[in-house]
Structure 1
Amino acid sequence: MIACPSSLSPSPQPPGSLFDLLAQYARSQPAAIACASRYRMASYRKIWSRIERATARLQGDWQVTPGDVVAYCGQGHPDALVLYLALVRCGARLWPLEHPDAPVVLADHGAGLPLKMVLFDDDGAQPRTSATALPLSTLIGSHCPHEARAVAFDPAVPSLLAIGEGGDFSQHSLLQLQAAAPSGLHEVHGRLFDQDVLGPVVLPTLAAGKTLVFP
């Protein structure tokens, strides 16, 4: 579940400025809470640090390059959002599989993609795949000796993959996803990357410097 606080008023931001805004919030309101759940809270300073560390690990330890695809098998873990934003910074794409038949979908469709690796929730089963599969916690769970390298950022570059009912892939960019945040409370159970959650709620909430609430 992700909740968008009712006090958040629509405040559209140019999509290309999202990372500039996150870095700015890390400096100007470092203690402000970006993500909260019953288990932990993460400030904007911590979220930005995690995005930097994840970018460095993807690039330096796992050699993720522009155009690569990384799959996520899980149920809307907050660190999956860090993974997505880090992949955007790498010029790579996320393939989110947030449903019970994720292993089957991965096996049926993964071979047709430039699939670099698969990350899965730590409390979930390791998916069967020919690609490297690691727990999501390895993304930011330890110090990374590398530094994040700057990649020319283009919000129109595809960063998210989805499979339609016919089995065909569609691609979405940050430019297409990010929108003005609606007012009121919005919830979703387990699917962080649904079209009616990531674009309308998650990204604009972060762009506005507000708090995302997870179950």
Structure 2
Amino acid sequence: MTDQPVSSPSAPASQWNIPNAITVSRLVMTFMLLGLMSATDWWITAAVLFIVAAISDAVDGYLARKWNQITTLGRILDPFVDKILVGGAFIFLTAQPESGVTPWLTFAVIAREMFITGLRSMMEQQGIDFSAKLSGKLKMALQSVTAPVCLLSLSRPFLVWLGNWAPQFEILRDVLLWGTLVITVYSGVEYTWRAWVISRKSASHIQVD
């Protein structure tokens, strides 16, 4: 016996652990979600599935830190799955005009993700910590709220259930969409500025040496 609690292992036995298993399950849920979105009249189910998938993102990250099970696989797989979940949802929503999601909004979301992913990869290859900051976390949180709201706005039974509150719900959706656009662009600019500042500092150190 040891003094280490069984529920909180100090180190991962392998790349395949519970947090990574949750991440893989989120990937499966993402494909199920996209399948539901390609059909019709499954908007409420799709919204619920998106919410569950988004919650699992917070859970796997929490468990990985708590149990000290942060792995290379998890660091690669987790953001990859997040991008498929959010990007895929917005792409499918773009095909539904009543969702409120416009092509330029989806372009902004996907372009930001692709650019920052490449930028992060470049910085980390140089041994520079380029982990997520508050704006990036807020961006993901707002996108995770906006997508299911847009899905619910496509459900006629849900809007009928809201009754007189349906117009206000659609206003809320539009506000969230604009908020998503603003925080997505802002976080992209912030990360780019941060990378530029770090690169200048690194270059100045090299010149001094």
The verdict on a shared fold, with TM-score over 0.5 as the criterion, is: no
Larger-gyration structure (1/2) = 2
Normalised by the length of structure 2, the TM-score is 0.28
Q: By percentage of residues, which structure has more helix?
A: 2
Normalised by the length of structure 1, the TM-score is 0.28
Higher relative contact order (CA 8 A, sep 6+): 1
Q: By percentage of residues, which structure has more strand?
A: 1
